[in-house]
Amino acid sequence: MNPSFIRTFALIFGLVLAPVVRAETTNVSVTIDLVDSKRPTISVTYGANSRKLELANDVVLEIDGKESDYRTLLPGDRAVVTYDKGRSAVTKIVVQRSAVAPAEMLAEGWDEIDIYFVHGWPGKQSHFTTFFERGVISKSLSYGGWLETAKLPGFDNTTHFPITYPPDELIDELGQPTTLPDPHGLSGSVLWKTNRKGNGDGWTPEMARVAGLVQGFKHDWRCLVVTRIEYVKGLLLHTLRSDFAYSRWLKRGKPLWQDLEDWFAAETAIIDLSGSDQDGKQGDQN
């Protein structure tokens, strides 16, 4: 008998008898806490647990039924993730977001609207005073808006996201025409994703998550431009470690060519933004 025929037959026979390996997956409802844009990982909260999850190279992300890149996820997004135990990775993420809601929809039910909240001090509502002594009198602004879902020309949604801010054509609680102040001056204010949608009377402020820092205002887009919180956290962590390393270097008498020793000490002392070391104690700068 032809040897090549025997090998082919054996191969086919082996494939037929080989056990069928099925992916063992589980679906979990989570809240997105952090998105790593450099490594395909996300940090999530589910129940009382928090965990960092690796994403499969072929991970599928659907936002409101449309495929997207995982870097478009926002802190505070509620999602259903499919976790493949065999691959130890997330293979699918499904996110449902509410579209921007017109004013006439507000009376129909707040449960269907996800609100982003910011509190700050616009420059137009601040002025210098010498009434008691030199100082500044400011009137704060509390504002709730919605995620702008329209595609904006030239907008980089990997590092920022837009929140609606229509300065005019508004109606107040008494049904009278009103306007919003020029938002310049809100830059640096914390923006919260309230996670109000779907929680009804069970919603509490503790459900809100910091989503970013307001960076600016685009009048043509009628939107606030917000820097994603994961980039802010990275900058803060790097700044704290740099200050720690520099202070340690000064205390050691400014030795030459030992930069990495101080930097490694800073990384050990400041694990995250809590400023605590691995034992939960405040890091020592000595």
| Domain extents in the chain | 26-95, 103-230
Q: What residue ranges in the chain does DSSP mark as E strands?
A: 25-36, 41-46, 49-63, 66-68, 78-84, 89-95, 116-120, 126-129, 135-138, 141-145, 160-164, 170-171, 177-178, 190-193, 209-218, 223-228
pLDDT value, residue 200 = 75
CATH (one of 3.10.105.10, 3.20.20.10, 1.20.120.160, 2.40.50.320) for 26-95: 2.40.50.320
Indicate if the pLDDT at residue 41 is higher than 70: yes
Retrieve residue 2's tokens.
């032809």
The class of domain 103-230 in CATH terms is: mainly beta
Question: How much of the chain, in percent, has pLDDT values that exceed 70?
Answer: 79
pLDDT value, residue 279 = 39
The arithmetic mean of pLDDT across residues 129-154, rounded, is 76
Of 27-36, 166-175, 207-216, 228-237, the poorest mean pLDDT is in: 166-175
In 3D space, the residue among 277, 276, 243 whose CA is nearest the CA of residue 262 turns out to be 243
Which of the two residues, 177 and 104, has the higher pLDDT score? 177
Tell if the pTM clears 0.75, that is, is over it: no
26-95 and 103-230 in the same fold: no
